[in-house]
Amino acid sequence: MDVNYKAHTVVYRQVVISQGNIVVRADRARTTMGQDQRNSQWTLQGNVRIQAPPRGSLSADRAVVNVLGSRITRATVSGNPAQFAQQRKTGKPARGHAEQIVYDLNKGTVQLSGNAWLSDGRNQMSAPVLTYDLLKDRLKGSSPGNGGRVHITITPQALPAGKKALESKRPPAPPAKQTRPRTRQGASD
């Protein structure tokens, strides 16, 4: 721990902050000295990992964690890129990355912004901003004001073994017109 009385800051090394099943780890953490730790803001740097099962996990180069009423309420992570992962109810993992990810624990949402990308293991979505509601298992892509596009890649689900796919049957081609050689009328032999 490094205390700077002049700047009123405390820097912790190899920090682990936990609250219930939420665990925050980083190489360094900085907070204001004398600040009410029940309502505080922590700036974390280096190998930041935030685990909040079953809601998911974040990893990044840098994070700002807000604590309100002795509860971690929000984590804003950034990196090249910041990453998100969650084991979904379906058993398939959801993974995503962006320049910045805001995890609002009160709302149960994860907002990815800046080259945002998210995959549910089969389908993918990318957009300037993606908002994933962890509680409702819903995803929303948007492009606020900058004219970027929302891209969605949907991979068809494979048919279970033993089921036959509907065969694509084209209607038969119309019969070709039969043409007979024409003869000139009035032509002499």
Q: Write out pLDDT tens, residues 15-61.
A: 998 888 999 999 999 987 655 667 888 999 999 999 988 778 999 99
Prediction pTM value: 0.76
- The pLDDT score that the predictor gives to residue 189 is 47
- The pLDDT score that the predictor gives to residue 27 is 97
Q: Write out pLDDT tens, residues 135-176.
A: 888 889 988 876 678 888 988 877 676 665 554 445 555 666
Q: Where are the domains of the chain?
A: 2-153
Lowest-confidence region among 2-16, 54-68, 79-93, 149-163: 149-163
Percent of the chain predicted with pLDDT > 90:
40
- The pLDDT score that the predictor gives to residue 120 is 86
pLDDT class of 78 with cuts at 50, 70, 90: very high
Q: What is the CATH superfamily name and number for domain 2-153?
A: Lipopolysaccharide (LPS) transport protein A like domain (2.60.450.10)
Label each residue of the chain as H, E or C.
CEEECCCCEEEEEEEEEEECCEEEEEEEEEEECCCCCCCEEEEEEEEEEEEECCCEEEEEEEEEEEEECCEEEEEEEEEEEEEEEEECCCCCEEEEEEEEEEEECCCCEEEEEEEEEEECCCCEEEEEEEEEECCCCEEEEECCCCCCCCEEECCCCCCCCCCCCCCCCCCCCCCCCCCCCCCCCCCCC
- The pLDDT score that the predictor gives to residue 184 is 58
- The pLDDT score that the predictor gives to residue 168 is 45
- The pLDDT score that the predictor gives to residue 145 is 77
- The pLDDT score that the predictor gives to residue 40 is 83
Lowest-confidence region among 1-15, 32-46, 116-130, 169-183: 169-183
